[in-house]
Amino acid sequence: MTFDWNNFISIAEYLKDNCDGLNSEKCIDRETTFRTVINRAYYAAYNVSVQYVLKKFGKISDGDGGKHARLIKTFQDFKHEKDEYKNIAVKLSRIKSYRIRADYKENFLNGPPSYAAHNTMKTSQEIISSINSL
């Protein structure tokens, strides 16, 4: 049985909903929760995207950068086939930057992590929806 990466979105949404707007007594730690939401939501979109690319194109593009950058490049390389590929690349790139901040940066710049968590959730869901409709 293969793992359903959409479950990461479900977990991220659960965490967000149970921390968002609640007092600190009901939320273990708001910043930690929102950073985790960002991470799980990103990886849901990332892994659904990887599965799509491997099924559709057989491989992820070669080139500079790690797997994440090359996945984004794959969608960019095939943007002439479908307009939606360019949108997916742009959205993946945006939420990748949130995920890097959430996972590696001590200070979360450009607003609170709650904003980035909400944005990452929404964008991840849009990416997954786009891929499911292709």
Q: Is 42 helix (H, G, I), strand (E, B) or coil?
A: helix
**Between 30-57 and 67-77, two packed helices, what is the crossing angle to 10 degrees?**
50
CA–CA dist 84, 117 (Å, integer): 23
pTM above 0.85, yes or no: yes
**How many helices (DSSP H) and strands (DSSP E) are in the chain?**
5, 0
Structure tokens at 29: 């730690």
28-54: burial string, b at 16+ Cβ within 10 Å, e else: eebeebbbbbbbbbbbbbbbbbbebbe
Residue by residue, pLDDT tens for the chain (134 residues) are 688 988 888 888 888 777 755 455 556 778 888 899 999 999 999 999 999 999 999 999 988 889 999 999 999 999 999 999 999 999 999 999 999 999 999 887 667 788 899 999 999 999 999 999 99
Fold that domain 6-133 belongs to in CATH: Four Helix Bundle (Hemerythrin (Met), subunit A) (1.20.120)
CA 69 to chain centroid: 13
